[in-house]
Structure formats: C-alpha cells, structure tokens
Amino acid sequence: MNELNGKIAAVTGAASGIGLASAEAMLAAGATVVLVDRDEKALETNCARLGERAIPLVINLLDPDQCAGLLESVLSKTGKLDILHANAGTYIGGDLMETDLDSIDRMLNLNVNVVMKNVRNVIPHMIERGTGDIVVTSSVAGHSAVPWEPVYSSSKWAMTCFVQTMRRQLLKNGIRVGSVSPGPVISALLADWPEENLRKAKEAGALIEPKEVAEAIIFMLTRPRNVTIRDIVVLPSAFDI
C-alpha cells in the first residue's frame, strides 16, 4: 500500500499512543513522517525501529517559542509539508472542584491553544502550495457532554468547533480539515481515568487500540481530493456513554 507515497507528514504527540500508531500507519502507506514529541528518548527509539522515513523532532509544544517554530523545524528536515496530524493532548477527569488549577491551564493549553497555534503555523505553507491535509485528534467527548470529565470534554467540544470552522475557511485553498473522534483508547491517557470507570470499561471490552484509530486516519487521508471526511467517530462496539 503506497497511497501516501511522496507525502510528507508531521504528527504531534508521536512518541506513543494514537500519535505513534498514526505515524506507523502513514509510513506503511509510503509517507515520510516527522514524529514530533518532547520525549527525546522515546522518539529516538521509535524512529530507529521505524526506519529512515521516520524523522524525530524534539519539541515541547507548551513552550511558546518552540511551538511557534514547528513548521520551520519540519521544513528544515523535509522541505515541504503535506499532512499535519495535530494529535498531542492530555486528559483530566473527575469533579471540577477537585481539579488542580494549574492542571486545567496545562490541559487547555495543550488540547486547544497548541492545536490552534500548530494549524495557524502550517496553513500559510499549505495555502501557498494549494494543497494539504489537517487532521485533529478530538474525542467522542467532543460530541457528548461527559459528566465525569468536564474540562477534557469541553476542550474537545472546542476542537469540534475549530475543525468545522477551519474546514470552511480553508476549503477554497485546496486544504482539507477533519477530526478523528475516538472513544476510549488503550494509551497512557487512561491512567488518569477514574478507577471505577476504567475497571468497568476493561471488563466490558469497551476499549480500542491506537492502530484502529490510525486506520481511520488513513481512510480520511486517502479519499479523492473532492471528498472531505469532516469527522469520524471510532468507538469500541461495547462502549456506551
């Protein structure tokens, strides 16, 4: 399968979870992928395993200067960018009154502000080239108000709105914008789930693997250019909220 042959992609939060699975799937489809993460050791290990088309880029996206330099750093390694998968994010669950205020700032910065900045950073390059794909990792929590995760769910509702507005802004430029909205995925983020909810999900088989989300992303990226998958919800069959 070489449907992405010749394409250059950048994936944020690519050291593990959905980001890593997305990078692996794009590589398998023929793309060259810049894996962006702050975890230098994990990036080096994964890129060594994945081969020469996997390029590590160590960036702390919560550092404003490093975040602003995303496109410049990617172009210095690849010369162009066809695909941005804005995947980096974090999670907070539980009652709002028990949530640390600094954690709220960090999560909203990473889940909302960084995504907006990353997209703002890359679109002049894509507009100049007259083509591009932007995929944002959202969540089913961006479509349903989940009572045990008010901060996280709110951040993903923001992404649902952002993707729909940017799709409309950029369609005239040949740039497709869409989001993938998974249900619970087996990843490091589940470590912050309420213990009782995680136990019930595991017992019910209501979890999916990152690679199953990655397959949906490949589907989005490989449609004919006259087709945009605005949002795709990927749920474990046993999941219900």
CATH number of 8-234: 3.40.50.720
How far from the centroid of its chain's Cα atoms is residue 232's Cα? Answer: 13
- Say what the pTM is: 0.92
Looking at residue 7, its pLDDT comes to 98
Query: What backbone phi and psi angles, to 5 degrees, belong to 219?
Result: -55, -45
Looking at residue 109, its pLDDT comes to 97
Active-site residue set: 152
**Rounded to whole angstroms, how far apart are CA atoms 31 and 48?**
16
Q: What is the DSSP letter of 112?
A: I
Looking at residue 192, its pLDDT comes to 61
Query: What backbone phi and psi angles, to 5 degrees, belong to 238?
Result: -90, 5
Q: Which parts of the chain register pLDDT below 50?
A: none
**Amino acid of residue 29:** A
Looking at residue 208, its pLDDT comes to 84
